[in-house]
Amino acid sequence: MRSTAALFAVSALVSSALGATYNLKDTFVGEGFLSGFTHQAIPDPTHGRVNYVDQQTALAQNLTFATDDTFIMRADSFNVVDPSAPGRNAVRIQSNNAYTTHVSVYDIRHMPQGCGTWPAAWEVGQNWPAQGEVDILEGTNDIEPNQSTLHTSANCAQPDGRQMNGNSISNNCDVAANGNTGCGVQSTIPNSYGKSFNGAGGGFYAMERTSTFIKVWFWSRNDPTVPADVKTAGATVNTDAWGTPTALFVNDQCDINAHFGPHNIIINLTFCGDWAGIPQFFNDLGGCPGSCNDFVDNNPSAFNDAFWDIAGVHVYE
């Protein structure tokens, strides 16, 4: 009886982590980002050296532009920033629609790079941290590789020994613990972030969220294992066929339904702030000179490559 019960428990755990087939809900390509997302001209919640501008300003200053198959978001790379100003002009966009159980696929050709940069593609609830946060693509100062992280309210943790290709670097997801590091998983693929990501022509990120697990995958642009339904967006995706994820977050020590609500997609670029500006990351790990704020203020040409080039974001439910 004991061995039978154990086998049943293992079977239930494995089946709870299986994927499914999802139908296309929303497609954002080119000018679709201008209507499907809102430019958030808000003070940076992470205290970055950034001035987020609205859509009208972003278009007028060429910080945002779209073609039929391309959407660009960039930082100002021409002007020295006055020390009394909020920071360097950049863009933060948030999807108008919110999602619960879903799959989001990000086809990105280029991401912001350079000292002082802190780019992220992530999903978050309106009531933070009660409704949770999923960081899909995030890092600072060209420090490779990518890190995918959950940030939650109290009583959410992750166990060791999860079936994923990434390395767990922290298990407590509670924002009130460990300086809000969250429960992070670091990719083992160098070109999942920064200069190496861009040098390889970018790639594909995908996130699946259900009531019992959250998964994140990454494939470099020319990886022969990129699933066909990821490489070319269609009417459906089948996550069962995508293989072992880079990051897996499960609910045996975290009630996902209780910790995660409807999420909007956010894509943004900030500078310095609560993570990128810490000297350990800016100087020691990032190899960047001086203080982060001074660097961002006084070196506009250093941000020539601080831009997103997004081929599309597709959401399935």
pLDDT classification of 2: cutoffs 50, 70, 90: very low
pLDDT for res 190 = 86
Closest CA to 217 of 194, 239, 246, 238: 246
Residue 190: half-sphere exposure toward Cβ, Cα within 13 Å: 4
Which entry of 138, 144, 208, 317 is annotated as an active-site residue? 138
Asked if residue 159 lies in contact with residue 252, where contact means CB atoms within 8 angstroms, the answer is: yes
Element (H, E) at 58: helix 55-60
pLDDT at 6 over 50: no
- What band does 18 get if pLDDT is binned at 50, 70 and 90? low
pLDDT per residue as tens digits for the range 36-82? 999 999 999 999 999 999 999 999 999 999 999 999 999 999 999 99
The C-alpha angle 8, 14, 20, rounded to 5 degrees, equals 130
Pick the CATH number of 17-146+187-245+259-316 from 3.30.200.20, 3.30.530.20, 3.40.50.2300, 2.60.120.200: 2.60.120.200
> Of 138, 102, 142, 118, which Cα lies nearest the Cα of 237?
102
Instruction: Specify the 3-state DSSP secondary structure of 120.
Output: strand
Q: Which two tokens stand for residue 204?
A: 């594909």
Give ∠ CA 19-111-203 in degrees, rounded to 5: 40
pLDDT value at position 7? Answer: 35
* pLDDT at 87 exceeding the cut of 50: yes
**What one-letter code names the amino acid at 37?**
F
* 201 pLDDT more than 60: yes
Cα separation, 151 vs 84, whole angstroms: 32
What six digits make up the tokens of 242?
Answer: 């995508």
C-alpha distances in angstroms, 14 versus 206, 212, 240, 245, 309? Answer: 20, 11, 12, 14, 37
Evaluate if residue 15 carries a pLDDT over 50: no
31 catalytic residue (yes or no): no
pLDDT at 168 over 80: yes
pLDDT (0 to 100) of residue 75: 98
Categorize the per-residue pLDDT at 14 as very low, low, confident or very high, splitting at 50, 70 and 90. Answer: very low
pLDDT digits (tens, 9 = 90+) for 109-157: 999 999 999 999 999 999 999 999 999 999 999 999 999 999 999 999 9
Please state the rounded mean pLDDT for residues 94-104. 98
Cis upstream peptide for 145 (omega within 30°)? yes
What local confidence, expressed as pLDDT, does residue 17 receive?
54
Per-residue pLDDT tens digits for 232-269: 999 999 999 999 999 999 999 999 999 999 999 999 99
Catalytic annotation present for 138: yes
Kindly report the average pLDDT of the chain as a whole number: 94
**Span 272-290, average pLDDT:** 97
Read off the pLDDT band of 19 (50, 70, 90).
low
Instruction: Give residue limits of the domains in the chain.
Output: 17-146+187-245+259-316
pLDDT of 10 over the 80 cut: no
- Rounded distance, CA 119 to CA 268, Å? 6
Helix (H), strand (E) at residue 109: strand 102-110
* Residue range 202-223: mean pLDDT, rounded: 98
Catalytic option among 31, 123, 133, 208? 133
**Rounded mean pLDDT, 265-290:** 97
Measured CA to CA, the distance from residue 103 to residue 234 in angstroms comes to 13
DSSP-based three-state secondary structure for 258: helix
